Chain A
Amino acid sequence: MTLAAGCAGVQPRSDGPDSPPVVDAGEPGAADTDDGTRSERQPAASAPARSDASAPTLALLRQSERSAESGDLAGAIAYVERAIRLNSRDAELWLRLARLQLAAERPERAEQLAQKAIALAGNASDEQRAGWLVVADALEAQGDRDAAARIRARWRTYRG
């Protein structure tokens, strides 16, 4: 269940159908196709959408999502890493990478990447919470249910 949630955590953005065409970050002109239909398959407990990312980052994330949905996790990871190279202090990108690594059944790496996202989030509490919940998932995937439960309990009451 955790793993499924981890995979699904890579959810599409709520970009409208008029988003710009993506060149070289996906099939030409295919970026603005079926976001709406895909969002129905997303569970509710996924990362918050964001609107502050730049156009190149958005283009890459959209392509990453498409790869993940077609089962190509390695490709999805490569796109997020490319986004990180353009903007390596973006906590949200590291968190996405953490979720993808969790989905790829590398929970130890995922845990560390989530810690990295938390460190970059600084005092931004929403991002911190999202990061800790991924850490909890990663710990659970490594068999440490107690630690996972403690983290979840601590952040459950949090209201941003």
Chain B
Amino acid sequence: MAERRRSKARRKTRRQLPRWLRYGLLGALVCASLAVVAVAGYLFYLDRTITSTFEGRRWSVPAVIYAQPLELYPGAALNLADVTGELERLGYQAQANPASPGTYKRTANRLDIHLRAFRFMERQRASQRVSLTFEGGGIADMADSNGRPVPLVRLEPLTIGSFFPSHGEDRLVLQPERIPDLLRDALKAVEDQNFDDHAGFDLTGIARAMWVNLRAGEIRQGGSTLTQQLVKSYFLDNRRTFERKLREVAMAVILEARFDKEDILNAYINEIYLGQDGQRAVHGFGLGAQYYFNKPIAELSVDEIATLIAVIRGPSYYNPFRHPERALARRNLVLAKMQQSALIEEAVYERSTAMPLKVVSGTRSGGAYHPAFMDLVRKELNERYADDDLTSQGLRIFTTLEPNVQDAVEQSLSETLIRLEHQRDMPAESLQGAVVVTANQTGEVLAVAGGRTAGFDGFNRVLNARRPVGSLIKPVVHPTALEQGYHLASMINDAPVMLEQSGRSWSPRNFDEEVHGSVPLVRGLGDSLNLATVNLGLELGVNTVAERLGTLTGIAPQNRYPSLLLGAEAMTPLEVATLYGTFASGGFHMRPKAVIAVLDESGAPVSRHSLDVDQRIEPHHARTLSRALEAVMQQGTGATSRFARAGTAGKTGTSDDFRDSWFAGYDDEHLSVVWVGTDDNLTMGLTGAGGALKVWDEIMTHLGVRPLLHTPGQRLQTIEYDTGLVAHDGCAEVVELPLPDDAALRSKPGCGINLRSITDRLRSWIGND
């Protein structure tokens, strides 16, 4: 019964509305609710995206990266100028009475320093006073304020960069209190006059922009609010589509609804894109001030602030380096707006518009920005940590960079390349180069130059230029040879060979196109004789040598053909530094290391990268090899070096057709690997000695050579370099070598030398070489 009544009622309704309309309405209702759900969902998504991005960036305290601090102690080879120079780099002020931290007083041979407090890797150091007395080019005495002797103290480390480990971008984040008021006000006046009142977008602003653009017949004003520009900067997308524009407006409105005006403006100042420095995007006014003017934002003048604001509208169109006239015109427009808005007085306006652009031409000088080293830091962090481990705030990263070594390297590389181009009538800027310097015993990377232009964040050749190493490869043969009973005076055969390699015959030749016959091992390496090396390598086995190269570098070689013996293998300068690091450290393999420790905001270690070594060559064989590399300098291909006889060791390398010029060399402290060549792999006519060695000479002139120390008590034998015969320096060109007691030696006729023992003489008779 009830059933029938209901169906009756239904029929009644059906009669009231036509079928098509009923379905239509239902459909519309469904569509509308779906649309509402979709729009709500989209807005929810936009809200989540923009809010988390803003929060993430706003509260991000970037990681700060420090160089090694300068250690001061009595006996340190630092003169008054060295220490004063470092104090100036750290921003210490010279004062008559150094009463507050960050000041110092300088007299004839004395420095009174009021050290700042600093949280070092190990502990917090309170601010304190220390007096240094200098004598004879070094620190003679150190005392505290009570006159008590101080054994050791360090200056704060230089800050060499800061970046967000999560997205790798470099920022010099300005805390709100460090932002000049003029910058805030001028930004509003120029970019967004209604900023304080609008809700994220600005209809009057858009109307005004349209009017201006219409009248001018071109786009002069964007009409985007600062908030919209901020959103755009977060999601760097320059496609001008309607959808994108809507999204931008929606996000801007959300941001305005959720955050303070002041927070948004501060975020803008730290985020906005201001230009491109090679591969590095310059974001934010902190970095912008550094990039264009090489100074902190607090020191910018009115016209300089105006230039930075001018650039915002089109960092490449108004690039002050490339288009100075456009940039200048726009800067003056910005100054005019500042004056119209009563932010600056007429006189200031007049003075400022008369100023030139003052941007630091092209590359920044003197700044403590070392992008090539920073690359290495990033690479090391990426290898050691998952991304998540590095997202915590305010990490402090202590690195191995030594600023004085870095300066020496940058200067030596660029000056030497200019000189070489000049001497050889090569086009300017045609040569490129790369240098890495490590500490011999620890493998810590002290300096990196990724190219000839210091501070230029371009292609980092130390990490990424993989080039044939030529004769640099040769000493890889020797540890195996020494283990198999060879010694440095063993005679090896410098004679022609004909080999099959990938189906083709290969007959290497010596650099001087000559054949030298039987030569001592030390000369084969010293004169870099290809035939002697190939013969020795073939005797030991190409595979054995390839395996050894793998152990010494930690990287398996690409090819295992005989041409490996002459350096067909391509390596990066950093890989070469790993290889020669093993030689320079007495046989211990170390991965070149740039990061000492990563600490979190509270000072607790996230990790410490403590010293790690791994023996890959027996120490006495390594020492012997090092002696042979000394002979390279004294008698061989390194003999043209200024420091050939100053107690250094090294090896030159030249690839086919003179495309790559290499040198790896060390004294008792520093190992340097230098590459010189061209980016398009052209032949440039430079040997290892003619190019890379010259750069090394210059570096060592800056750093000063510390002669290699030898193990005391090692017995040395003097032999003739050319022949391997026992001789003395009155009758031959000689080298002193550690040889096994049972080495079979003969003496040079006419030198009047008796051999060491009867057994030696007997052996030499039998001639069991």
Taking Cβ atoms with an 8 Å cutoff, the residues of A that contact B are 20-25, 28, 54-56, 58-60, 63, 67, 74-75, 77-79, 81-82, 84-86, 88-89, 97, 101, 109, 112-113, 115-116, 118-120, 122-123
Contacts and interface: CB of A to CB of B under 8 A. Distances in A.
A113 B711 contact: no
Contacts of B605: 74
Contacts of B709: 89
B148 A84 contact: no
B587 to A, nearest CB: 7
Contacts of B444: 85
Interface stretch (B377-385, B476-484, B613-621, B682-690): B613-621
Contacts of A67: 122
Given A78-B121, A89-B709, A123-B713, 20 more contacts: A21-B150, A23-B128, A23-B130, A23-B144, A24-B152, A25-B152, A60-B152, A74-B610, A77-B608, A81-B442, A82-B122, A84-B441, A84-B611, A85-B444, A112-B615, A115-B613, A116-B586, A116-B588, A116-B613, A123-B711
A119 B73 contact: no
B126 interface: yes
B638 interface: no
A84 B597 CA distance: 16
A24 B610 contact: no
Given A25-B152, A115-B615, A74 B608 contact: yes
Interface string B427-459: 000000000000111101000000000000000
18 contacts: A21-B144, A21-B148, A23-B128, A24-B153, A28-B128, A55-B152, A59-B152, A67-B122, A74-B608, A77-B610, A79-B122, A81-B596, A82-B71, A85-B71, A112-B613, A112-B615, A116-B613, A118-B619
A28 B144 CA distance: 10
B349 to A, nearest CB: 50
Most chain A Cβ neighbours within 10 Å, of B73, B610, B622, B713? B610
Nearest to B71: A86
Interface string B61-74: 00000001001011
B151 interface: yes
A112 B614 contact: yes
B367 interface: no
A20 B610 contact: no
A22 B151 contact: yes
Contacts of A74: 605, 608, 610
A10 to B, nearest CB: 15
B74 A55 contact: yes
Nearest to B398: A78
B597 A78 contact: yes
Interface in B623-661: none
B402 to A, nearest CB: 10
Contacts of B149: 20-21
A143 B232 CA distance: 60
Contacts of B126: 28
Which of B75, B441, B587, B612 counts the most A-chain CB atoms under 10 A from its CB? B441
B217 interface: no
B712 interface: yes
A65 B549 CA distance: 40
A74 B120 CA distance: 14
A54 B152 CA distance: 10
Interface string B581-623: 0000011100000001100000001001011111100010010
Contact of A122 (B440, B668, B669, B711): B711
B14 interface: no
Closest 7 CB pairs of A and B: A88-B441, A119-B619, A122-B711, A56-B152, A55-B151, A56-B73, A59-B151
A118 B620 CA distance: 11
Interface residues of B, number: 48
B125 interface: yes
Nearest to B150: A23
By CB atoms of chain A within 10 A, which of B439, B605, B612, B622 has the most?
B612
A40 B126 CA distance: 32
B258 interface: no
Interface in B42-80: 68, 71, 73-75
A88 B148 contact: no
B718 to A, nearest CB: 21
B154 interface: yes
B71 A56 contact: yes
Contacts of B152: 22-25, 55-56, 59-60
A24 B73 CA distance: 11
Nearest to A123: B713
A119 B587 contact: yes
Most chain B CB neighbours (cut-off 10 Å) among A21, A77, A119 = A119
Nearest to A81: B611
A133 B91 CA distance: 49
Nearest to A108: B614
Nearest to A79: B122
A85 B669 CA distance: 10
A54 B75 contact: yes
Interface in B144-200: 144, 148-154
A88 B439 contact: yes
B442 A84 contact: yes
Contacts of A21: 144, 148-150
B712 A113 contact: no
A146 to B, nearest CB: 20
Contacts of B154: 24
Contact of A88 (B150, B442, B596): B442
B551 to A, nearest CB: 14
A21 to B, nearest CB: 5
A112 B610 CA distance: 13
Nearest to B607: A74
Contacts of B74: 55
Contacts of A60: 152
A28 B605 CA distance: 23
Given A75-B122, A122-B711, A20 B148 contact: yes
A112 B75 CA distance: 31
A74 B605 CA distance: 9
Given A21-B148, A28-B128, A101 B610 contact: yes
A134 to B, nearest CB: 14
Interface in B115-134: 120-123, 125-126, 128, 130
A97 B151 contact: no
Contacts of A120: 586
A149 to B, nearest CB: 21
Interface string B688-724: 0000000000000000000001011110000000000
Contacts of A63: 122
B142 to A, nearest CB: 8
A101 to B, nearest CB: 7
A23 B153 contact: yes
A84 B68 CA distance: 14
A22 B153 CA distance: 9
B439 A24 contact: no
A30 to B, nearest CB: 12
Interface in B75-129: 75, 120-123, 125-126, 128
B708 to A, nearest CB: 11
A109 B615 CA distance: 11
A15 to B, nearest CB: 11
A22 B151 CA distance: 6
Nearest to B130: A23
A88 to B, nearest CB: 4
Nearest to B709: A89
Contacts of B125: 24
A63 B122 CA distance: 10
B442 A85 contact: yes
A81 B714 CA distance: 29
A154 B531 CA distance: 45
Contacts of A24: 120, 125, 128, 150, 152-154
